[in-house]
Amino acid sequence: MADAAVTIRTRKFLTNRLLQRKQMVVDVIHPGLANVSKDELRAKIGKMYKADKEVVSVFGFKTHFGGGKTTGFALIYDNVESLKKFEPKHRLVRIGLAEAPKGGRKQRKEKKNREKKFRGVRNSLVNIMKSVILLISTAITAAYCSKLVSIPFTAVDRKGIKAAGWGRKKLGALVDVPLENVDLAYLIDINIGTPPQLFTLLLDTGSSSTWVPIQGCGRYCGYPKHSLVPSNSSTFTTDNMVFSIRYGEGFSRGYYAKDTVTINGVSVPQVNFAVSDYNDGDLTMDGADGIFALGPDSLSIYNNPEKKVIPTFVTTMFEAGIIENNVFSVYFQPLAHDVREQKRINGEIVFGGVKESHIVSNVSYVPTTKQSNFKDYWAADIDAISVGNYTKTYDEKVVGMVDTGSTLVFLPREIISRVFKGVKGLRRDFSGQYIVPCLAKNLPNITITMNGKDYVITPENYVIKGGLLTFSPENCYTYLQESPPFVDAILGYGFLQQYVSVYDNENKRIGFADRASIE
């Protein structure tokens, strides 16, 4: 949209039904002006999307070097009530929907100092009791030894597929796939510190460094909903070792620390994680504060200058005796036949093993690959891939990365060409995503053979039902896409939805079992 000397362009558009809003990145081009007021931006963006100015929120704007262009974020809520419910108070104050704190700056500072003094007294008392607490913790740890520890996760629409941790492979093709209700991020809630501080994190098996934002990083972290206050935790420690990671798109950096992490009522002391004071902020658009990383421990050497192997949350639970096996499993609830009837996919992650109620077959295991480029990931060698009656056998093993953080199934170009050969009405969107008639009859099964066992993906599983193309309801997206450079195959949700996937750190293997349908 252009108005006089101001041009507004939006990108990375996403409809987030969970938070009842539309989200986007906004570029404002203003060559003749120093800047454009937020009030004016709200009005212009509202006009662009035929929405009232009162339901528009803008924030995080930074001017590019040399001036003339500013970039930030915009949210358009369904109604004012949703805006009041989900927007932070300081932004509500800015647009006149909440009252500013009473008293002057000096009074607020004095109040803050009094609170700090109180916290200092409280922390002193906590430190006196610390040894007693540790003894009690040791005594009750045995209660968890023979149990599985589980935590539910919730899926929300996300604005682009991220294979976290694969950035060093330059997998730029993994991002920006615009699938409403299909391009999903899986979120879990955890607590860090004593007393606990709540965080909502994105579940990711493609990286090994969990991180959360620190209080005060604001626009340098995308204004997350929750941020860590280290001084508020009596169990927080750090040696200030540098943390840095690049993803398929985006980055995060800061320093490593340790603290107590609590999930679903189970507290795990001395868990390694990173405190981020600068990241791309894209996660906040998905409703996440940071990353909950569950890749193999060895993958963490790429995230610190000392190349140290830093134990993940699961390994720390195992070493503390809270779980019997250094294993976790992921269960996805079945997806509705029409995805428009189901706004999110939920599931459960189980630490220590597999819940019997989640599976209807034995777990079949595949050793993790020994190929040097992929040995630090959850990845396995693929023996063969079949499409209908055609079989491609690989003398030099093809590696399939298993990743809960990817929505799609990426396969070699030759295989994808075979799948869609002769399909009438086949189309591709600008991102490379394949679109087929929803009622196509001649689509073949895909069989992936690993460690001598066949894993079949049927058209019912790889065609996304429900007519997601609003301009063409008779057409459907698929979960299939050609593999990006440097990677043979990625087995994301489109493959994993049929199975409970098991990740065994101890024996370096990945397992699959047929998933039970749990109502």
Q: Kindly list the distances between the CA atom of residue 27 and the CA atoms of 5, 123, 370, in Å, as whole numbers in the listed order.
A: 14, 46, 45
Q: How far is CA 360 from the centre of its chain?
A: 28
Catalytic site residue from 157, 282, 403, 488: 403
Q: Which residues pair with 446 in a beta bridge?
A: 387, 457
Residue 403 annotated in active site: yes
Please state the length of the chain.
519
Residue 174 token pair:
């993994």
Strands 489-491 and 390-402 turn out to be parallel
Q: How far is CA 187 from the centre of its chain?
A: 7
Residue 297 annotated in active site: no
**C-alpha–C-alpha distance, residues 264 and 313, integer Å:** 14
**Residue that the structure tokens 């009041």 belong to:** 84
Residue 42 token pair:
């709200």
The set of residues, in sequence order, having a beta carbon less than 8 Å from that of 402 and lying 6+ positions away, is: 205, 378, 379, 380, 491, 496, 501, 503, 510
Q: Which helix (H) or strand (E) is 418 found in, with range?
A: helix 413-420
82 CB burial (10 A radius; 0-12, 13-18, 19+) = middle
**C-alpha–C-alpha distance, residues 387 and 443, integer Å:** 9
DSSP state of 237: B
What sign does the CA torsion over 90, 94, 99, 102 have? positive
**C-alpha–C-alpha distance, residues 92 and 98, integer Å:** 5
Residue 402 token pair:
């298993």
Catalytic site residue from 204, 259, 282, 297: 204
Active site residues: 204, 403
